[in-house]
Structure 1
Amino acid sequence: MGASPEYSGGCQCGAVRFHVRGVLDHASICHCRMCQKSFGAYYAPLVSVRGAEFRWTRGAPKRFASSTVVQRGFCVECGTPLTYEAPDGVAIAAGAFDTPEQLPPHIQYGLERKLPFVDHLAQLPTRPSEDDAAALAFQAALVSHQHPDHDTERWPV
């Protein structure tokens, strides 16, 4: 029998970090209006940690009761959305994982509030950042304060 998969992640500033051990096989996208507002986005990509070992390894999120049954966790320092917490379990924001590419969504919820253009996002024109001449000076001056996509002993260093 093989070892259980392990994942880590956290907020943008590194004040809140987590670790998960176990199979994560329920990644989803929610289009409901509460998730849109909570994530400040067109939809919320979430990964259920139900059945896995989940723990906070640095700090913990602050929570907001977005309804009578759901709390949303976020980093109080940088504002990164982190959790959807309902009576049936906790889901973590997919983008908060250090390796979100390992957790593709398998289902969509809240389709009654899905924005009409979402299905066409992949058809929009694209441009790699380095090909955007107007942004080159901005990019050259940019110094990231974002936590790296791996665990660190302490942050900031």
Structure 2
Amino acid sequence: MNTHKGSCLCGAVRFEVAGDLAPADACHCTMCRKLSGHYFASTDVPRDRLTVQGNDAVRWYQSSEKVRRGFCGTCGAQLFFDPPHRDSIAVAMGAFEGATGTHLHLHIFVADKGDYYEIADGLPQNPQ
């Protein structure tokens, strides 16, 4: 079985995903842009396939009634998008080490995207 490892910038939080990664999406909503500095690309991972080391360094921000976002309390790297009511958690694509074996397949919340860039990769774009 494939495993994919990743970490925050400083290494205080490390994680491993067992199995192949699902295609990623890019979220252009205002919250993702403010938290990441641009848009946020992530892949949904079943919770039972994600192992996190350094949980004590993970800080959670409740960004809405339905979602919390996990980041490293030391370096500030955004790592997780967690809707607790779902069986999966989104993991930041940029936090993986090495090749992921997946690809971006969708842009979401493009109605909120910044005016300073265009999306020209030909992938589907959902307004919400």
Identify the TM-score tier after normalising by the shorter chain: 0.7 to 0.9
Q: Which runs of 5+ in 2 are unaligned?
A: 122-128
**Which residue matches 2:124?**
none
Q: What secondary structure is seen at the aligned counterpart in 2 of 1:56?
A: strand
* Contact 2:47–2:89 (Cα < 8 Å) also in 1: no
Q: Which runs of 5+ in 1 are unaligned?
A: 123-157
Q: What secondary structure is seen at the aligned counterpart in 2 of 1:108?
A: strand
Distance 1:108 1:52 in 2: 26
Greater percentage in helix = 1
Alignment RMSD: 2.1
Normalising by structure 1, report the TM-score.
0.67
Instruction: Rate the CA distance shift 1:5–1:51 in 2: closer, same or farther, 3 A.
Output: farther
Structure 1 residue 53, shift from structure 2 partner: 0.9
Count of residue correspondences: 118
Structure 1 residue 23, shift from structure 2 partner: 2.0
Give the aligned residue type for 1:9.
G
**Which residue matches 2:109?**
110
**Which residue matches 1:65?**
62
Q: What secondary structure is seen at the aligned counterpart in 2 of 1:112?
A: helix
Rg larger in structure:
1
Greater percentage in strand = 2
**Per-residue CA shift, 1:87-122, capped at 9, x if unaligned?**
322101110111255332111111111223422689
Identity %: 31
**Which residue matches 2:28?**
31
